[in-house]
Amino acid sequence: MNAHPVTSLFPMLPDTELRELAESIKSNGLINPCVRMGDLLLDGRNRLAACALAGVEPRFIEYAGDSPVAFILGANLARRHLDMGQKIALAVEIEPFFAEEARKRQATSTGGRNPQLVVHVPLAEPRSRDQAASLVGISGKLVSNAKAIKQADPERFEKVKAGTLSIARAKKEIKVEQGKRDLAAAQKEINEEKRKSIESVCDLRVCSCADLFKSGIRPDAVITDPPYPKEFLPCFSELAEGCKAANVLLAAVMSGQSHLPEVMRRLCEHLQYRWTMAYLTPGGQAVQQWQAKVNTTWKPVLLFGESLEWFGDVATSRSNDNDKRFHGWGQSESGMADLVEKLTKPGQLICDPFLGGGTTAVVALALGRRFVGCDLDSQCVAQTWARVLA
């Protein structure tokens, strides 16, 4: 006798337990008969196999309900100890069977077979996903999430099904790997473009911040580190006006803390404040602020724009990675890379209108982003070209 395909979703007993069941049937007979629907076995694979071992003739009762899938599921769930991940995976596996039952019911006006009623499971007609989820005892959304895991990574789905990997962990791992693939694809694309012409992915200009934005650029994000001394405070107003004119969705602006209230006032005059990130500079990178008598190992990164994506609000430079080789106010590549990865996606256009030593440009290109930036100092621009072409 052939077993219904859904029964294969539940494993058979181990050999030792099957032999024990056979001995019990040999001694006491088959207490619970097997359930069949015509020539299809719906419940009792282990009992049928044990009867063969014991040399006992099996007994059957006929199923007469309208959803053998639901019957098989209900009969097995009562005997199995499944964790949440296994239940979710099971719901994914049985959903296509419910959908097939629904198609068959729609294709007939008689309701199908009508033998003597022995076992009956009345069912409504919800969507197959919700039907599967309801019978397992979970939400339809969890089933959709698990289906996405199965489609994206069948191997991980099998681990979820086996109970060795949680749904949450599987989703996280798949997201990380997808991010790596996206990054690799973007880097490959940019490297190919770079071989043709570096200008296609990197635009460096000798001009002011205001002139750069007036040229019509439309960056996805501005990540910049304007100069901190008091005489440069107007730069923050110039930056804010440019970002507003260009409808920049995300502006991340590093700042010192000595003039932070004035910096905030100038930026908030034109931009919508969102959050303040902490940019950590551990190790020997502490800066002594004599007027405040503070050894500081962090600086604020002021974020402006709409809240479109989630992000973590701490970026970290590697210990003692205060790289001043290319500019006296330069930032480390490790810290800038952490910031770029948190706030942008591969392929996006990043702008830094205060180029300095060019670290933002170097990091952006290395991480598969495109870049546009400027500086009033032609030597800074030339040095940045040398770095990105190296």
**Which of 30-34, 43-47, 134-138, 193-197 has the least mean pLDDT?**
193-197
pLDDT at 177 over 50: yes
Q: Which of 123, 124, 147 is nearest to 71 (CA)?
A: 123
- Rounded Cα–Cα distance for residues 292 and 89 (Å): 59
- Rounded Cα–Cα distance for residues 262 and 230 (Å): 10
pLDDT in tens, 310-345: 889 999 887 655 554 544 444 678 899 999 999 999
Q: What 3-state class would DSSP assign to 315?
A: strand
- Rounded Cα–Cα distance for residues 87 and 39 (Å): 28
Q: Which of 187, 211, 114 is nearest to 364 (CA)?
A: 187
Q: Where are the domains of the chain?
A: 2-170, 192-389
pLDDT of residue 284: 57
pLDDT at 351 over 80: yes
Query: Residue 359 CA to chain centroid, in angstroms?
Result: 28
Kindly list the distances between the CA atom of residue 10 and the CA atoms of 42, 86, 96, 347, 363, in Å, as whole numbers in the listed order.
12, 11, 16, 45, 51
pLDDT in tens, 258-300: 999 999 999 999 999 999 999 998 765 556 677 777 888 899 9
Q: What 3-state class would DSSP assign to 119?
A: strand
**Which of 35-39, 62-66, 302-306 has the least mean pLDDT?**
62-66
Within 8 A by CB and 6+ apart from 326, the residues are: 356, 357, 358, 359, 383, 387
* Burial class of residue 300, CB neighbours in 10 A (0-12, 13-18, 19+): middle
Kindly list the distances between the CA atom of residue 313 and the CA atoms of 225, 335, 360, in Å, as whole numbers in the listed order.
17, 13, 19
- Rounded Cα–Cα distance for residues 36 and 213 (Å): 75
Mean pLDDT of 108-115: 49
How many CA atoms within 13 Å lie on the side-chain side of 362? 23
- Which two three-digit tokens encode residue 386? 């040398």
How many CA atoms within 13 Å lie on the side-chain side of 8? 7
pLDDT of residue 121: 46
When the pLDDT of each residue in the chain is averaged and rounded to a whole number, the result is 83
- Rounded Cα–Cα distance for residues 257 and 255 (Å): 6
- For residue 267, the tally of other CB atoms under 10 A from its CB is 21
- Rounded Cα–Cα distance for residues 3 and 59 (Å): 15
pLDDT of residue 210: 96
* Burial class of residue 354, CB neighbours in 10 A (0-12, 13-18, 19+): buried
Look at 276 and 152; give whichever has higher pLDDT: 276
In this structure, what are the phi and psi dihedrals at residue 387, rounded to the nearest 5 degrees? -70, -45
- Which two three-digit tokens encode residue 6? 């859904």
pLDDT in tens, 354-385: 999 899 999 999 999 999 999 999 988 988 88
**27, 52 contact by CB (below 8 A):** no
> What class is the 192-389 domain?
alpha beta
- Which two three-digit tokens encode residue 212? 């750069």
pLDDT at 195 over 60: no
Residues 338, 341, 347, 353, Cα dihedral to 10°: -50
**280, 287 contact by CB (below 8 A):** no
